């Protein structure tokens, strides 16, 4: 079998699932975690695992230094203007909720409009729906093109002087279409609106430069870019963060607490309530180093090659319908096997030791656009190999045969 040079970096690749070598094709849900990230988190717990921002002893200072160094690292990684623009959150979902409830909702008036699209993950959809309902604002949807992307013209077609806020993805999680977020930010700003970019799918695959994009907010999760679960980042322009209200109140975010009133720390610390996810933030730092050591060009080239190899073979299979065939640079293939329910199909893959995703993919609005109740999605990451694709294709054949068995 083909040697996988990533086998030492990702110990989980040595596992078996249902009696077969584990083939992981669900990285758009969460990526596997490399040894260097596991090691860095262990090092924290083993050698200096105490709380941050309060220790008056050496280990506390060490934890603090390691934790805060990741803020600098993230600033550099996404090219933010200052370290104060980096807020650590539990993930993309929490970051978006913080902006929706702490920044946008307090400003909304009945009749105002928020613009999003039907290709958003539920995390970048439901919060806007809720704050629109609470404030009497209206949610509008930028139309999608064939590939599932929102173009600048499409966004412009739903913008007006009533638009207060725009929330769109950088790369969608079903079709994996890439949005030109720089152009989208420009359109939002032309109308005097602000824009949040959901970068959860983009950051594992391409270099993000928040100043070049000129977005007001950018959100992503650690666990889709080789980091641990439970940590993410909210980038916000300093002027926006300074105007944002906390979403949570309590320890760590306060300045002075008196019986009748409390003052808060400045951004970003005002938004980091209670004991943070210390090991996870430190692990995120190691994940960023891992991405940098591979380089985005390498990751992208390898994924494009693997996707093309898979697509070539799927094209020979008449029962397979692919929804995003021309998104060549994407890391996902969204498909269905005609007349086989995705939940039946995924059982076949599972028994073959191949992990892919089935269901609504946290994107029911997108599925309704595609007029599908459920989909299959295979998604790639740098540690996948041609041998993985061969296993995927073999399982796809088995799942299609399942159809023949049913009808014979
Ligand atoms: C996964 C994902 C999210 C949610 O991320 P969490 O880490 O679960 O909070 C949001 N948006 C997109 C596009 C995603 O792929």
pLDDT, greater one: 363 or 64: 64
The ligand 1 atom nearest the CA atom of 221 = 7
CATH 3.40.640.10 fits 37-292, yes or no: yes
406 pLDDT more than 60 = no
Ligand 1 pocket check for 124: Cβ under 6 Å: yes
Q: Which residues lie below 8 Å from residue 300, measured CB to CB, with a gap of 6+?
A: 205, 206, 329
Per-residue pLDDT at 237: 98
- Of 310, 300, 317, whose CA–CA distance to 377 is shortest? 310
Per-residue pLDDT at 55: 73
Phi–psi pair at 181, nearest 5 degrees: -70, -25
**Quick one: average pLDDT of 40-56?**
92
Q: Which residues lie below 8 Å from residue 376, measured CB to CB, with a gap of 6+?
A: 334, 335, 336, 337, 342, 345, 346, 356, 357, 358
User: Ligand 1 centre and the CA of 123: distance in Å?
Assistant: 6
Token digits of residue 92: 């993309």
Per-residue pLDDT at 404: 62
118 pLDDT more than 80 = yes
User: Ligand 1 centre and the CA of 92: distance in Å?
Assistant: 6
Mutate to test the pocket of ligand 1, among 201, 228, 280 (most ligand atoms within 8 A of CB): 201
User: Ligand 1 centre and the CA of 90: distance in Å?
Assistant: 11
- Whole-number mean pLDDT of the chain? 95
The ligand 1 atom nearest the CA atom of 229 = 7
Q: How far apart are CA 227 and CA 291, in angstroms?
A: 10
Per-residue pLDDT at 70: 98
**Quick one: average pLDDT of 50-63?**
90
Per-residue pLDDT at 364: 85
**Quick one: average pLDDT of 227-249?**
97
Q: How far from chain centre, in Å, is Cα 321?
A: 25
329 pLDDT more than 90 = no
pLDDT in tens, 260-319: 898 989 999 999 999 999 999 999 999 999 999 999 999 999 999 999 999 999 999 999
User: Ligand 1 centre and the CA of 28: distance in Å?
Assistant: 9
Answer yes or no: 240 catalytic: no
User: What residue spans define the domains of the chain?
Assistant: 11-32+295-405, 37-292
Ligand 1 pocket check for 200: Cβ under 6 Å: yes
User: Where is 376: in which H helix or E strand?
Assistant: strand 375-379
Per-residue pLDDT at 214: 98
Per-residue pLDDT at 129: 97
CATH code linked to domain 11-32+295-405: 3.90.1150.10
CA atoms within 13 A on the CB side of 158: 23
Instruction: Report the percentage of the chain scoring pLDDT > 70.
Output: 98
Per-residue pLDDT at 1: 61
Q: What helix, strand, coil percent values describe the chain, rounded to 5?
A: 40, 15, 40
- DSSP helix/strand/coil, 115: strand
Per-residue pLDDT at 405: 60
pLDDT in tens, 186-229: 999 999 999 999 999 999 999 999 999 999 999 999 999 999 99
149 pLDDT more than 80 = yes
**Quick one: average pLDDT of 148-176?**
96
Ligand 1 pocket check for 179: Cβ under 6 Å: no
Mutate to test the pocket of ligand 1, among 95, 122, 150, 173 (most ligand atoms within 8 A of CB): 173
Residue with the smallest CA separation from ligand 1 atom 5 is 92
């Amino acid at each position: 079998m083909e040697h996988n040079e990533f086998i030492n970096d990702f110990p989980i690749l040595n596992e078996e699932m249902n009696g077969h070598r584990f083939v992981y094709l669900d990285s758009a849900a969460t990526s596997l975690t490399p040894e260097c990230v596991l090691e860095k988190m262990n090092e924290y717990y083993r050698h200096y695992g105490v709380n941050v921002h309060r220790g008056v002893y050496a280990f506390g200072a060490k934890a603090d230094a390691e934790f805060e160094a990741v803020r600098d690292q993230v600033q550099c990684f996404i090219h933010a203007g200052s370290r104060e623009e980096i807020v650590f959150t539990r993930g993309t979902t929490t970051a978006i909720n913080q902006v929706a409830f702490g920044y946008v909702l307090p400003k909304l008036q009945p009749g105002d409009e928020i613009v999003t699209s039907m290709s958003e993950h539920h995390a970048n959809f439901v919060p806007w729906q809720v704050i629109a309902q609470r404030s009497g604002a209206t949610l509008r949807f930028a139309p999608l093109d064939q590939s599932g992307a929102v173009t600048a013209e499409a966004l412009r077609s739903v913008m007006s002087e009533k638009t207060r806020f725009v929330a769109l993805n950088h790369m969608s999680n079903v079709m994996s279409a890439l949005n030109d977020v720089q152009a989208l930010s420009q359109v939002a700003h032309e109308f005097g609106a602000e824009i949040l970019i959901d970068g959860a799918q983009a950051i594992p695959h391409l270099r993000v430069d928040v100043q070049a994009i000129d977005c007001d907010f950018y959100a992503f999760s650690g666990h889709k870019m080789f980091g641990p679960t439970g940590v993410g980042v909210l980038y916000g322009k300093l002027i926006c963060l300074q105007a944002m209200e906390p979403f949570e109140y309590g320890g760590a975010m306060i300045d002075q607490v008196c019986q009748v009133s409390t003052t808060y720390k400045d951004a970003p610390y005002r938004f980091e309530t209670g004991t943070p996810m210390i090991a996870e933030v430190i692990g995120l730092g190691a994940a960023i180093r891992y991405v940098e050591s591979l380089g985005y060009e390498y990751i992208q080239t390898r994924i494009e090659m693997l996707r093309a190899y898979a697509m070539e073979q799927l094209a020979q299979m008449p029962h397979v319908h692919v929804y995003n065939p021309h998104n060549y640079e994407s890391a996902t293939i969204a498909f269905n096997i005609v007349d086989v329910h995705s939940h039946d199909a995924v059982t076949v893959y599972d028994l073959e030791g191949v992990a892919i995703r089935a269901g609504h993919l946290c994107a029911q609005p997108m599925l309704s656009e595609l007029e599908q109740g459920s989909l299959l999605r295979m998604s790639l990451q740098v540690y996948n190999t041609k041998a993985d694709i061969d296993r995927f294709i073999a399982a796809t054949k088995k799942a299609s045969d399942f159809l023949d068995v049913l009808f014979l």
